[in-house]
Amino acid sequence: MEKVYAAFRSIGAYVPQKILTNADFEKMVDTSDEWIVKRTGIKKRHIAADDESTSDMAAKAAKIAIERAGLSVEDIDLVVMATVTPDYFNMPSTACLVSDKLGIKNVQAFDLSAACSGFVYALTVAKAFIESGMKKNVLVIGAEKFSSIVDYTDRTTSILFGDGAGAAVISATTNRDEAFVDIHASADGSYWDFLITPSPGSVNPASHTAIDEGLQFVKMKGNETFKLAVKTLTKDVKEILKNNNIEAGEIPHFVPHQANYRIIKAVGDSLGMREDQVVLTVHKYGNTSAASIPMAINDIYEEGRLQSGELMLLDTFGGGLTWASALIPFAPNK
Ligand code: UT7
């Protein structure tokens, strides 16, 4: 039997309308545009409407990705949804809600929790299902309504995060040139408390006390996470390039997780990347967690910068702690 590979066929994204600028934050907490830009590179972020859920945004991004793949919803045989801001804690899965909104029926659908690394983690799942022959067209989504777990009185976290969704269709191919070159994901659970929403969950079930203590909001050991992110990501991307005998200079599109411009710059510089190789969206979307990488890929696609066959180097780091990187050619249906 001919060997089957996974191919990255299409991308789509959705960005909510409402914008929170740094000037808005100056009115909400003790901060300044200067501090935020200097320490993070963020100038604004998009925020979902009150009646707009993670699955609403995800379904919009996914619809575009399916259309751009030249497929219909009947062709999708697996939905993998990366999010840490699901519509409901903890059931039904947001993947089931997205499937329902799109009219995808009787198809395996589940959520995957790997925080900011979720989209690349979900790509590893898509690859495994396709290469094993179990599935042919996998819808992979990264979507977050991070504003639903942000404490807008906490200046250390609130200025960082935004909402949005991105989706891709990963399909089976027998053409080796279209295949994922490499992908890997990893984790170190000993840093579990670096990024955490303490409640609701089995440790701190929903309670008045939990709410009074603000345990439903995201907490982050920012500076410690920053240092580990730079160290881990630099090592990770160097390894994946070396293992595949690819020079950093050959990569047309380095698409890192968009958490902080300083992290991206440090990793890019350590690889000797030119500015035109590095995809940057953190200034306009902030950190959208699992949505950040597919939203960034969608940006270069819509700007006409992502051409068939061009290699993307994906690289991400997030709560867990988790991290992942991938070398994937863009392989649209011709
Ligand atoms: O997406 C998942 C992975 N996430 C990340 O990788 C995020 C990693 N962390 C970061 O991006 C950065 O650590 C932050 C942007 C969160 C913070 O930057 P930092 O350079 O690490 O600052 P810091 O936490 O060391 O804080 C420096 C100072 C503190 O004041 P003192 O103690 O020196 O007086 C903070 O209270 O900056 C203060 N500060 C602020 N000041 C104005 C913290 N947040 C703000 C703010 N405005 N919004």
Nearest-angstrom CA–CA distance, 310 and 304: 12
Backbone φ and ψ for 108, nearest 5 degrees, come out as: -55, 130
Residue among 223, 233, 264, 295 whose CB has most ligand 1 atoms within 8 A, to mutate: 223
| Nearest CA residue ID for atom 35, ligand 1 | 156
For the segment(s) 1-334, the CATH number from 3.40.47.10, 3.30.950.10, 3.30.1490.100, 3.40.1160.10 is 3.40.47.10
How high is the pLDDT of residue 187? 97
Ligand 1 centroid distance, CA of 64 (Å)? 36
Provide the whole-model pTM.
0.97
Q: Which residues contact 306 (CB under 8 A, 6 or more apart)?
A: 11, 253, 297, 300, 312, 330
Which residue type does 264 have? I
Nearest-angstrom CA–CA distance, 293 and 130: 21
Ligand 1 in reach of 229 Cβ (< 6 A): yes
Nearest-angstrom CA–CA distance, 97 and 110: 10
Tell me the average pLDDT across 181-189: 97
Tell me the average pLDDT across 22-49: 98
Across all residues in the chain, what is the average pLDDT? 97
Which residue type does 103 have? G
| Nearest CA residue ID for atom 41, ligand 1 | 31
DSSP state, residue 281 = -
How high is the pLDDT of residue 186? 97
Ligand 1 centroid distance, CA of 158 (Å)? 11
Least confident span in 46-50, 93-97, 215-219, 225-229: 225-229
Q: Is the confidence at residue 72, as pLDDT, over 80?
A: yes
Per cent of the chain over pLDDT 90 is 99
Nearest to 121 by CA among 263, 315, 329, 297: 315
Ligand 1 centroid distance, CA of 223 (Å)? 6
Task: Report domain extents, the chain.
Answer: 1-334
Query: Which pLDDT band holds residue 90 (cuts at 50, 70, 90)?
Result: confident
Start-to-end CA distance of the chain, whole Å, equals: 24
How high is the pLDDT of residue 103? 98
Ligand 1 in reach of 226 Cβ (< 6 A): yes
How high is the pLDDT of residue 150? 98
Could you tell me if 25 and 76 are in contact, meaning their C-beta atoms sit under 8 angstroms apart?
no
Ligand 1 in reach of 40 Cβ (< 6 A): yes
**CA-to-CA dists, residue 255 to 141, 198, 234, 326, angstroms:** 16, 30, 13, 10
Ligand 1 in reach of 222 Cβ (< 6 A): yes
| Nearest CA residue ID for atom 19, ligand 1 | 223
> Residue 165 pairs with which residues in a beta bridge?
14, 143
Ligand 1 centroid distance, CA of 149 (Å)? 18
3-state secondary structure of 142: strand
**For residue range 256-296, what is the model confidence (pLDDT) as tens digits?**
999 999 999 999 999 999 999 999 999 999 999 999 999 99
Tell me the average pLDDT across 319-328: 97
- 317: exposed, middle or buried (Cβ count in 10 Å: 0-12, 13-18, 19+): buried
Q: Is the confidence at residue 2, as pLDDT, over 90?
A: no
List residues with catalytic annotation: 116, 257, 287
Tell me the average pLDDT across 152-166: 98
Tell me the average pLDDT across 71-90: 97
How high is the pLDDT of residue 242? 97
Residue spans of beta strands (DSSP E) within the chain? 5-14, 18-21, 44-47, 78-82, 108-112, 137-145, 163-173, 182-187, 195-196, 219-220, 253-256, 311-318, 322-329
Which DSSP helix (H) or strand (E) runs through 231? helix 222-243
Distance of CA 239 to the CA centre of its chain: 21
DSSP state, residue 149 = G
Could you tell me if 46 and 18 are in contact, meaning their C-beta atoms sit under 8 angstroms apart?
yes
Nearest-angstrom CA–CA distance, 293 and 285: 11
Query: For residues 155-173, b (16+ Cβ closer than 10 Å) or e, as one string?
Result: bebbbbbbbbbbbbbbbbb
Nearest to 68 by CA among 215, 171, 153, 146: 171
Query: Which pLDDT band holds residue 60 (cuts at 50, 70, 90)?
Result: very high
Tell me the average pLDDT across 32-43: 98
Q: Is the confidence at residue 334, as pLDDT, over 80?
A: no
Per cent of the chain over pLDDT 70 is 100
Q: Is the confidence at residue 1, as pLDDT, over 90?
A: no
How high is the pLDDT of residue 38? 98
Angle at 311 between CA 286 and CA 256, to 5 degrees: 20
**For residue range 211-258, what is the model confidence (pLDDT) as tens digits?**
999 999 999 999 999 999 999 999 999 999 999 999 999 999 999 999
Tell me the average pLDDT across 318-327: 97
Ligand 1 centroid distance, CA of 32 (Å)? 13
